[in-house]
Amino acid sequence: MRIFLVENHPDTLRCLQRHLLRTGYEVGTARTYAEALRDLSANPYDLLLTDLGLPDGDGWTLLEQLGDARPPLAIAMSGRNSPADHARSREVGFQHHLAKPFLPDDLDQVLRTVLEEKDKGGAER
């Protein structure tokens, strides 16, 4: 599976990328909205894992703006975790909204859940 990771915090990006690579995923990365939009439009990925708070935009708008270039699966990561934030994530097409801070095991569980839902046909756009 090819995961595209968008995270503006360098240490968090490095740690998440390392964890995902060790878990066996192919990983592309971006630190900004603009980089993510450019790279995702040019290369297909299976899953978008993005922070909602980016220095030049937000993950919700990114997913919407990608249009047909968006990966079929998407997980939001954010410290913004009100019920309204979770609802907004679902509205724009994220399959899950992962609350920060989280542990690698939490991410692994969310990835398993999203993939199981996809296999059951529950992750349709």
Task: Examine residue 94 and state whether it is found in any structural domain, yes or no.
Answer: yes
Q: What is the rounded average pLDDT for all residues in the chain?
A: 94
Task: Examine residue 8 and state whether it is found in any structural domain, yes or no.
Answer: yes
Task: Examine residue 125 and state whether it is found in any structural domain, yes or no.
Answer: no
Helix (H), strand (E), coil (C) string for the chain? CEEEEECCCHHHHHHHHHHHHHHCCEEEEECCHHHHHHHHHHCCCCEEEEECEECCEEHHHHHHHHHHHCCCEEEEEECCCCHHHHHHHHHHCCCEEEECCCCHHHHHHHHHHHHHHHHCCCCCC
Task: Examine residue 43 and state whether it is found in any structural domain, yes or no.
Answer: yes
Task: Examine residue 50 and state whether it is found in any structural domain, yes or no.
Answer: yes
Say how far apart CA 7 and CA 15 lie, in whole Å: 11
Task: Examine residue 44 and state whether it is found in any structural domain, yes or no.
Answer: yes
CATH assignment at residue 112: 3.40.50.2300
Domains contained in the chain, number: 1
pLDDT tens-digit readout, 70-95: 999 999 999 999 999 999 999 999 99
pTM: 0.93
Domain encompassing residue 6: 2-119
